[in-house]
Amino acid sequence: MSLRGRISLLGAIALIAAACSSGGASPATSAAPSVAASDAASAPASGSASAPASEAASIDPNSLLGKIISSGKIRIATDPNYKPFSFLNPDTNTYEGFDTATAEETVKRLNEKLGTNIELQWETPSWDLITAGSWGGRWDVSIGSMSVTESRAKVVDFTDPYYYDGGGIAVPTNSTITSLDELSGGKTFCVGTSTTYEQWLNKTLEIVDPNMMEPPTDPQVTALPTDNECIQAVAAGRTFDAIVANKNGLEDAVASDQPIKMLLDKPIFTVSVAFALDKSGPDTAAALDVLNEIIADMHADGTLKGFSEQWLKDDVTTKPE
């Protein structure tokens, strides 16, 4: 009797869960602003369709690439709070930026290569959830400015780099600080949470960069959800001695008349930035191969350089010395 009661209770809960998953699934993803994914997913030229189609057929259906092909969509995670890499354009209600353009182009080329008609679907969780790994199949790939670090490589598989990121430091416009040394000894910093810039300040950044600058001593770090909040906090009148963030992002903020100025011309460190795939998910080998081919092609024909110059006013796609 008691067992039956328990089972019926659990059954009811399971039923609710099931009803909810089937009933509520569609708006979660289609509620996004009408993102310009349609052109990326347009059908490839029919002339080249026969040869690549056999390539698609030879892919293991249980691998990540196989699952992407059979579902007809590729779910790409990006944090659309990262201007000028990925952000929402209020004029058009679409995602824009360097990462967005790269992702759309990647899907287009994937379709050309495989003779498929895979659609791009954006997933927009907060940044710290993307870097945490163990995505549990919520999305297939991150094309969202993820820097290659050793600690992240334990939870995700990285492709070859598509650009090279530089960390930058900005100080409030009225700051008297003029060098990195002056930021040592208990100064206050604002960073975006779970970023390489936060790790740099906390001396936990594991990258290979001979030119990485030594972080200031005894930093008092405030980590906000995104580094954008740091800039807005300073603009609103909160005081931080410095903001550590993506150099291009900070320069974009300076150009948008935010009350900050760049402290250094040089990056505090540079690091490869790549697409990331979940290590704990389906086999990524075939997906890595095809994505690496596409990245190599986009480097070779100047596509990435073009995106970089369009969105960052600068070419960040060649490896710095």
Partner 1 sequence: MATATTAPQATSAELGSRIEDAERHRRVRWRVVFVTVWIVILVALVTFVAGTVRLDTTFLNKSVPFILAGVTITLLVSFASIAIAIVLAILGALGRLSRNPVLNAIASFYVSFFRGTPLLLQILFLYLGLPQAGIVLPALPTGILALGFNYGAYMTEIFRAGIQAVPNGQTEAAYSLGMTDRTTFRRVIVPQAFRIVTPAIGNDFIAMLKDSSLVSVIGVQEILWRAQTIGRPTFQSMQTILVAAMVYWVLTILFSILQHRLERRMAIGDRRPA
Residues in contact with partner 1 by the rule CB under 8 A: 1-3, 5-6, 9, 12-13, 16-17, 20-21, 23-25, 27-29, 31-33, 80-81, 83, 87-91, 93, 123-126, 129, 132, 134-138, 226, 228-229, 231-232, 235-236, 253, 256, 258
**Cβ count within 10 A of residue 193:** 17
90 versus 210: smaller Cβ distance to partner 1? 90
Distance of closest approach, residue 81 Cβ to partner 1, in angstroms: 5
- Token duo for residue 139: 């999305």
26 versus 58: smaller Cβ distance to partner 1? 26
Distance of closest approach, residue 122 Cβ to partner 1, in angstroms: 9
DSSP labels for 56-112?
A: HHTS-TTSHHHHHHHHTEEEEE--SEETTTEEEETTTTEEESHHHHHHHHHHHHHHH
Phi and psi (nearest 5°) for 88?
Answer: -95, 125
Quote the Cα angle for 42-47-53, to 5°.
75
260 versus 291: smaller Cβ distance to partner 1? 260
Distance of closest approach, residue 214 Cβ to partner 1, in angstroms: 31
The 3-state DSSP class for residue 233 equals helix
Question: Residues with Cβ < 8 Å from 289, sequence gap 6 or more?
Answer: none
CA nearest 307: which of 163, 193, 166? 163
Distance of closest approach, residue 97 Cβ to partner 1, in angstroms: 9
The 3-state DSSP class for residue 224 equals strand
Q: In this structure, what DSSP letter does residue 50 have?
A: H
Distance of closest approach, residue 18 Cβ to partner 1, in angstroms: 10
Distance of closest approach, residue 213 Cβ to partner 1, in angstroms: 27
128 versus 182: smaller Cβ distance to partner 1? 128
Question: Residues with Cβ < 8 Å from 92, sequence gap 6 or more?
Answer: none
Distance of closest approach, residue 125 Cβ to partner 1, in angstroms: 4
- Token duo for residue 120: 């791009």
260 versus 290: smaller Cβ distance to partner 1? 260
Question: Residues with Cβ < 8 Å from 7, sequence gap 6 or more?
Answer: none
Bond from prior residue into 80 cis (ω within 30 degrees of 0): no
13 versus 57: smaller Cβ distance to partner 1? 13
73 versus 113: smaller Cβ distance to partner 1? 73
